[in-house]
Structure 1
Amino acid sequence: MTNFAKAAFGRITDTKPGDVRAEEAANGLVHVVSLILTKTADALIDPKLVLSWLLTALGAPGAMIGALVPVREAGALLPQLALARRVEASPERKRFWAVGSAVQGLAALGIAASALLLSGAWAGGAIVACLAVLAVARSAASVSYKDALARTITKRRRGAITGLAASVASVTVFGVGLLMAAGLFEVAVWPLAAIIAVAGGAFLLASVLFLRLHEPSGDTEGADDDGSLSALVDPILTDAQLRIFVASRAALAVTALAPPFIVMLTAASGRSALNELGPLVMASTAASVLASYVWGRLSDHSSRQTLMLAGALGAVVFAVVGGLGIALGGLGGAFGAAAAIFAAQIAYEGVRAGRKLHLTDMAEDAFRARYTALSNTLIGIALLAGGLFGLAAEQFGPAPVLLVFAVIAALGSALSMGLEEVQQKD
């Protein structure tokens, strides 16, 4: 056990039997470094920013650019229900995560190669196809990660690990954004292709590293059922707490949908959103740096309270921003837009930390992968439906949509009050 691992994760005093407790500090280090690599890579191939700019520069059709975010989000969430049983039957969940990360790395390298070798519709089609492969691989990593985390790290320490990794990754991405904003980094096709290739390498390195996780074998039988679709969806019908969690998470998903509408308000004030891109990226990453670890530690204490507070914060932020948008016709330039993005990102980080830890801690070992897959599949459908807000913004403007988001976030916060304090359970 390294001194760094001891310092970061404390002395292991848990008296539960098994090698996992003795190796928990080393496991924590593997989790943190692996997540730093993959979270950084995720940000470097962000479809909302990097890939959309890349396809525009390559002359890809607008329909392909518009497909980037739906392909990425739906592809990462919708397949998880089909993968859940395979994960439950696996003696080591880490292998699913490692394979998923490796395939994401290869897909990212495919995106980089497509950008360098192709142009126009050919480049757009190849990049969207690679992104679809990456998204499906991400779904395999996502559905298995909570199980791997729960089997290797004890309660009340998991949030610190995921929060620390998110904060460190955000610092890295902030540095890249700062170089771009300062003009020290040329924003062109080949440098972005190189960055995407680096992201691919980070995924591959994380895959190799994660296999060093000390994970106990067992729990391969899962639930006593026939593996049918009805058995897979049965938890949402029989577990009231899961229904409340999915409902609150669906409502709080507006914290992920809001930033593009804030950018639209920036453009509405007569400024080009692209001209303000650097400050907005830095504001978003700065919020992640400051908030991720704090929200993670709070989630270790109570993921329920984290969801309540983050939802309430999101409601206040969206109400203020939407109200200012209506009153001023915009956000008053780069400073106002950056402040709005900063506050919205803090709320989003809270929702993200709270819902991940709550689902990890509420589900039993044999059902965790299934609960994760079922929840993510339902949220994937909700996010697809969330695309209708874009049509509403075209008709009524982004400010009224943000006011609607404020009401929905408040509803999500209220629904979270009905959740149990799962961190207090043995």
Structure 2
Amino acid sequence: MSKLSALSSLKPHERRNALLIVLGQTSSKLGDVICNAKTVLTWLMGVIGAPPALTALLVPIRESGSMLPQAFVSGFVKRVRRRKWVYAAGAVGQTLCLIGMGLAALFLKGTAAGIAVILALAIYSLARCLCSISSKDVLGKTLPKGTRGRITGSAASISGFLSLGAAVFVLLAMDRSASQETYGWMILGGSALYLVTATALGFVKEEPSEETEKDLLTDFKERARMAVADPVLRKFIVARTLLLGSALASPYLVILSQQQGFELRSLAAFVLAGGLASALSSLLWGKLSDRLSRQAMALGGGIAGIVGLLGVAIGIWMPAIASSVWTWPTLFFLLNLGYAGVRIGRKTYVVDASEGDQRTDYVSTSNTLIAIMILIMGVLGSALQSLDVLAALAGFSLLCLAGSACSLSLRSTHED
């Protein structure tokens, strides 16, 4: 019978690894807040005067760009025996891209600035691709099963509290509006966070992986077959596809709130909501995921779906509530409570359900297929949004509920 490991029972080098990984993940997640396509970058594109067509590309590029190439590059990643160096290289790449975005915000305007941000975001997503593949492998190789969810949850909770503090400062201490240059300096400052990630990962003690003798084409073909032939991976991909609604629904809450105008305090309300949701719930979701990762996915998806449908109801039948400046940030907070469960649950599940290089295969294969589904759902969301923003929100909320039910059918990663 498998036993869950307690954090207190970790060996000295495992405790050190845990602290370094928490530091690395925390700084990375704070960097993600600065480069959040759903909130910060959406607001930035409005401030710099970018065309709406470019703004609509932010979330698909951010979400799919980091996952689509994974099945193609994971063969190269598996040739690196210590995956922490892949993680560190990706973090350095993200630093350079945020510097590019910051410079664009400082020196460009309009369409030129928007194109520069989009190009930097595309390269940022490719660098993030390396981090996404290698981070699960580093976590699985350096820490035992039963602690991984809490490590991921701790990092999310700490970064949530820190971003919460930053949002409160903006709400209370800064002017109601901010210049384009303010956003530029904010993004430039945030770029240093990924350097902290790269440094922390460099000190993690990781045993080298076995050398692979497969050629890249054979390795890719095996992963393509795995998506169909492996029942565990196949069911996980289906559940995760449906649960994409929890990520794709939240931008519509921002859109519904943009009648308040492009003010820094309006943006801070959403950053505050996202940070508060992550800070309050991530550690609890992590503990649940260490024991019942599929149930964490199901519960999180259910919460996100119900909150999304509540937003639809408010938009249709409660105009007085819908016109309040705090209504949509509050729903954003509640939806992100559910999304945190989906995110931490699925990350823990895919690490615990696989071993060795199979873990890299599971992560890269599922992420590439999910990236394709994000693009398809992005087109679907655009079509629904052309009819009504509330229709798009309703569609993705229903997908969340379907994904919640599907998650319960996944194979358990622990013996009863």
Q: TM-score, normalised by structure 1?
A: 0.89
Mapping of residues 321-336 of structure 1, within 5 Å: 321-329=311-319, 331=322, 333-336=324-327
Structure-2 separation of matches of 1:326 and 1:377: 36
Report the CA distance between 1:51 and its aligned residue: 2.6
- The aligned runs of 1:124-135 (5 Å cut-off) are 124-135=114-125
Counterpart check, 1:79 vs 2:69: yes
Could you tell me which of 175, 184, 204 is aligned with 1:193?
Answer: 184
1:380 to 371, 379, 388: 371
Aligned length: 406
Tell me which moved more, 61-70 or 30-39.
61-70
Q: CA deviation at 1:223?
A: 6.8
Equivalent in the alignment of 1:360: 351
Q: Does 1:393 align with 2:385?
A: yes
Gap change, CA 1:191 and 1:416, over 3 Å in 2: same
What whole-Å deviation, never above 9, does each CA across 1:288-340 have from its counterpart, x for those lacking one? 11111110110001101111211222232223222232222463513432331
Q: Does 1:67 align with 2:67?
A: no
Question: What is the CA RMSD across the aligned residues, in angstroms?
Answer: 2.3
**Structure 1 residue 228, shift from structure 2 partner:** 5.0
Shift of 1:224: 9.2
Relative to structure 1, the CA distance from residue 219 to residue 170 in structure 2 (aligned partners, 3 Å threshold; closer, same or farther) is same
Contact 2:39 2:251 in 1 (8 A): no
Specify which of 237, 242, 250 is matched with residue 246 of structure 1.
237
Secondary structure at 1:363 match in 2: coil
Paired residue for 1:258, among 240, 249, 257? 249
Q: 1:196 to 1:29 in 2, by over 3 A?
A: same
- Indicate conservation of the 8 Å contact 1:156/1:423, yes or no: no
Q: 1:272 aligns with which of 236, 239, 260?
A: 260
Cα deviation per residue 1:41-90 (whole Å; 9 max; x = unaligned)? Answer: 11012233323333333333443333332222221111111111112222
Could you tell me which of 130, 133, 137 is aligned with 1:140?
130
CA contact 2:85–2:202 (8 Å) conserved in 1: yes
Give the conservation status (yes or no) of the 8 Å contact 2:35–2:41.
yes
Confirm or deny: 8 A CA contact 2:75 2:219 kept in the other structure.
no
The answer to whether the 8 Å contact 2:67/2:367 transfers is yes
Q: 1:230 aligns with which of 214, 221, 239?
A: 221
- Aligned-partner Cα distance in 1 for 2:309–2:213: 44
In structure 2, the residue matched to 1:209 is 200
Tell me which residue corresponds to 2:31.
41
Conserved 8 A contact 1:225-1:231? no
Pick from 385, 403, 407 the counterpart of residue 416 of structure 1: 407
Quote the residue 1:17 is aligned against: none
CA distance in 2, matches of 1:316, 1:121: 38
Asked if 1 retains the 8 angstrom alpha-carbon contact of 2:54 and 2:118, the reply is: yes
Native 8 Å contact 1:94 1:144 kept in 2: yes
Question: Which of 107, 113, 117 in structure 2 is aligned with 1:117?
Answer: 107
Report the Cα offset of residue 265 of structure 1: 3.9
Contact 1:303 1:423 in 2 (8 A): no
Give the CA deviation at 1:225: 8.6
Question: Residues 239, 222 of structure 1: CA spacing in aligned structure 2 closer, same or farther, 3 A cutoff?
Answer: farther
Instruction: Return the letter of the residue paired with 1:134.
Output: Y
Instruction: Give the % identical residues.
Output: 31
The aligned amino acid for 2:93 is: V
Deviations 1:329-371 (CA, angstroms, capped at 9, x unpaired): 4635134323311210101000001100000111121211111
The answer to whether the Cα contact below 8 Å between 2:40 and 2:267 also exists between their aligned partners in 1 is no
In structure 1, what is the Cα distance between the partners aligned to 2:376 and 2:350? 23
Of the three residues 174, 189, 211, the one matched with 2:164 is 174
- Within 2, Cα distance between the matches of 1:115 and 1:9? 43
TM-score, normalised relative to structure 2:
0.91
1:390 alignment partner AA: S
Tell me the CA shift for residue 103 of structure 1: 0.9
* Aligned residue in 2 for 1:295: 285
Conservation of the 8 A alpha-carbon contact between 2:246 and 2:397: no
5+ long unaligned stretches in structure 2 = 1-5
SS at structure 2 position matched to 1:48: coil
- SS state at 2:49 partner: coil
After superposition, the Cα gap between the structure-2 partners of 1:389 and 1:365, relative to the gap in structure 1 and judged at 3 Å, is: same
Distance, in Å, in 1 between the alignment partners of 2:331 and 2:122 is 31
2:39 touches 2:270 (CA, 8 Å); kept in 1? no
Q: Pick from 314, 319, 322: which aligns with 2:304?
A: 314
- Secondary structure of the structure 1 residue equivalent to 2:218: coil
Distance 2:170 2:179 in 1: 11
Between the aligned partners of 2:240 and 2:178, the Cα distance in structure 1 is: 36
8 Å contact from structure 2 (residues 43, 262) kept in 1: no
Report the counterpart of residue 219 of structure 1 in structure 2.
210
Q: Secondary structure at the match of 2:56?
A: helix
**Cα deviation digits, residues 159-189 of structure 1 (max 9, x gap):** 1111111111112222222222225266222
Q: 1:225 to 1:118 in 2, by over 3 A?
A: closer
- Are 1:37 and 1:203, in contact at CA under 8 Å, matched by a contact in 2? yes
